């Protein structure tokens, strides 16, 4: 296959914080996972399957972070998701029947679409991948069309950790977890929040990782200046490659105001059947507390800048056609981009377009259609641009410019302010103290066995869970602030109790057993990563 004018590296960052509450029969925040499974992960796996079966050339890079992998593989959460599917299947059939009546006929196409989505989810979840979606991601990685990369162990914000050993532990635990599920070492990593600081790439090199991603200014402000801007990877002092985000292609997709997802024909996210239907009708599909909430059945389109009550019925065919148009527009823009860039480069440019995976399907309902149309059009309608993974690009073009990237992150203002500000700065004195205590314990007890080893492993889990960058992010955005504060405090407190028990040689096995049951992430963990 001859080399194209340029390449597209589509990167989907799939991540959710570890939320698992066996102490409750159901837990509201677990819905974050279930929504992402139904609306993003299963639709992605299903479209990968269609592209492979149709012999359509495509390449996608996708992070599956360790907390997400642990939740997808967890039997308790699998059971709870299965029960959710049963409820949604029942409601979907009722809705198809209800909207077949003249009084609600304008919503019938949307109801049929939701029923089909639920049936697809049941098929993919239960029958194709035996309730473990990780089987699907591994399958497509093994087939060479998907490159799955890792992340920090719990998406910890690495530059704001107090010690190098804590940063190294996040990466080592992550690579070990990846090998458990994907059967090989990871080749690349998504730095949590794209947050980079000097020296982090040394830890990646130690772990055998070949590349990572930065936001644009992480490379543009590097030293020396990058010859090819963000359109070719660079080599860090550690000999690990860094790829940078292309802002033009990114903004076309993720911006609700200037990008595709805000089109008036697309499905309205904020109007939901959970509020539109009579309470008695919808009550069986709500949580046990009976509070009205979104349940994922949405029958209206964006329409325009109007009140939710003025939103018009959703027309799936119109929206699907618009997704095809937008895919064609995106491809055309990338063609023009690479044709222009190629004049000034001695190699094909690579357009790196990273997004949160949950944008596609969950936030932007038509996003999976867009991806499928994009790769079909790229495969059959042009020859300028082709999909590629970072590993493939590095293999084809191994000679890179050496650069020291600049400290940076994505998020508001592009540095660390989202994760360190007046709403969340209080957490770091506790996290840093827990780091110091963990290093102290690991150094003093490198050969622990039995109950003491179990307690040390659990202490490591509690520290990692407390370090999740999601809690600081939620405190900034104020979306579920009490829960984020609670999780930070609980994990820090549990760690400190374990620390005192281990140091005093008085481990309470019943207390330890309960923590192992509640915070069960990383069964393979070895606390010696902190030595």
**Which of the residues are catalytic?**
193, 356
Q: Rounded to an integer, what distance in angstroms lies between the CA atom of residue 188 and that of residue 141?
A: 13
Q: What are phi and psi of 29, to 5 degrees?
A: -70, -15
DSSP per residue, 444-498: H-TT--HHHHHHHHHHHHHHHHHTBHHHHHHHHHTSSHHHHHHHHHHHHHHHHHH
Q: How far apart are the first and last CA of the chain?
A: 48
Q: What are phi and psi of 205, to 5 degrees?
A: -65, -40
Between β-strands 60-64 and 146-151, what pairing exists: parallel, antiparallel or unpaired?
A: parallel
Between β-strands 350-356 and 234-235, what pairing exists: parallel, antiparallel or unpaired?
A: unpaired
Q: Rounded to an integer, what distance in angstroms lies between the CA atom of residue 217 and that of residue 526?
A: 36
Which of 146, 130, 178, 177 is CA-nearest to residue 62? Answer: 146
Q: Rounded to an integer, what distance in angstroms lies between the CA atom of residue 491 and that of residue 119?
A: 38
Q: Are 263 and 304 in contact (CB under 8 A)?
A: no
- And the tokens for 458? 């659990």
- And the tokens for 27? 């837990």
Which of 193, 136, 186 is CA-nearest to residue 161? Answer: 193
List C-alpha distances in Å: 47 to 137, 362, 439.
12, 15, 45
- Measured in whole angstroms, how far is the alpha carbon of residue 196 from the centre of its chain? 18
Between β-strands 241-244 and 234-235, what pairing exists: parallel, antiparallel or unpaired?
A: antiparallel
Q: What angle do CA 181, 160, 234 make, to 5 degrees?
A: 70
Classify the C-alpha dihedral 300-302-304-305 as positive or negative. Answer: positive
List C-alpha distances in Å: 315 to 62, 103, 326.
30, 17, 17
Q: What are phi and psi of 308, to 5 degrees?
A: -55, -35
Which of 154, 77, 19, 30 is CA-nearest to residue 487? Answer: 19
Q: Are 335 and 385 in contact (CB under 8 A)?
A: yes
| 3-class state of residue 30 by DSSP | helix
Spatial neighbors of 24 by CB under 8 A, at least 6 apart, are none
Q: Are 268 and 233 in contact (CB under 8 A)?
A: no
List C-alpha distances in Å: 268 to 232, 359, 363, 460.
37, 14, 9, 42
Q: Are 78 and 132 in contact (CB under 8 A)?
A: yes
């Amino acid at each position: 296959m001859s080399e194209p004018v340029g390449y597209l590296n589509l990167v989907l960052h799939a991540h959710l914080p570890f939320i698992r509450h066996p102490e409750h029969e159901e837990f509201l925040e677990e819905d974050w996972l279930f929504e992402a499974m139904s609306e993003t992960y299963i639709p992605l796996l299903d479209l990968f399957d269609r592209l492979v079966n149709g012999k359509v050339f495509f390449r996608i890079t996708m992070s599956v972070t360790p907390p997400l992998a642990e939740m997808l593989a967890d039997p308790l959460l699998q059971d709870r998701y299965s029960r959710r599917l049963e409820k949604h299947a029942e409601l979907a059939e009722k809705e198809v029947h209800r909207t077949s009546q003249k009084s609600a006929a304008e919503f019938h196409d949307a109801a049929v679409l939701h029923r089909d989505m639920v049936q697809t989810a049941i098929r993919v979840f239960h029958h194709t991948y035996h309730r473990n979606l990780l089987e699907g991601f591994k399958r497509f990685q093994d087939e060479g069309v998907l490159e799955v990369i890792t992340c920090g162990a719990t998406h910890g914000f690495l530059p704001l950790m107090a010690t190098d050993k804590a940063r190294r532990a996040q990466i080592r635990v992550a690579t070990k977890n990846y090998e458990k599920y994907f059967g090989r070492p990871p080749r690349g990593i998504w730095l949590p929040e794209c947050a980079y600081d000097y020296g982090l790439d040394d830890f990646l090199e130690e772990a055998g990782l070949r590349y990572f991603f930065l936001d644009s200014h992480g490379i543009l402000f590097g030293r020396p200046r990058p010859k090819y801007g963000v359109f070719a990877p660079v080599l860090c002092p550690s000999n690990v490659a860094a790829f940078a985000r292309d802002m033009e292609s990114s903004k076309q997709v993720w911006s609700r105001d200037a990008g595709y997802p805000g089109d008036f024909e697309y499905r309205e996210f904020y109007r939901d059947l959970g509020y539109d239907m009579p309470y008695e009708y919808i009550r069986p599909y709500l949580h046990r507390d009976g509070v009205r909430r979104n349940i994922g059945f949405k029958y209206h389109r964006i329409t325009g800048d109007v009140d939710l009550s003025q939103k018009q019925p959703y027309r799936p065919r119109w929206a699907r056609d618009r997704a095809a148009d937008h895919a064609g527009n995106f491809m055309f823009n990338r063609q023009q981009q690479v044709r222009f860039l190629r004049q000034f480069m001695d190699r094909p440019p690579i357009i790196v377009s990273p997004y949160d995976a949950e944008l596609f399907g969950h936030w932007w309902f038509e996003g999976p259609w867009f991806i499928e149309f994009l790769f079909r059009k790229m495969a059959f309608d042009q020859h300028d641009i082709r999909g590629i993974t970072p590993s493939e690009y590095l293999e084809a073009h191994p000679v890179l410019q050496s650069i020291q990237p600049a400290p940076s992150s994505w998020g508001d203002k592009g540095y660390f302010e989202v994760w360190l500000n007046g709403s969340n700065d209080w957490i770091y004195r506790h996290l840093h103290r827990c780091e110091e205590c963990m290093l102290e314990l690991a150094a003093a007890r490198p050969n622990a066995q039995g109950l003491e080893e179990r307690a040390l492993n659990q202490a490591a889990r509690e520290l990692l869970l407390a370090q999740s960058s999601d809690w600081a992010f939620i405190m900034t955005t104020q979306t579920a602030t009490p829960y984020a504060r609670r999780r930070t405090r609980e994990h820090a407190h549990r760690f400190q109790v374990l620390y005192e028990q281990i140091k005093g040689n008085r481990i309470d096995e019943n207390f330890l057993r309960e923590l192992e049951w509640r915070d069960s992430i990383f069964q393979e963990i070895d606390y010696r990563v902190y030595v």
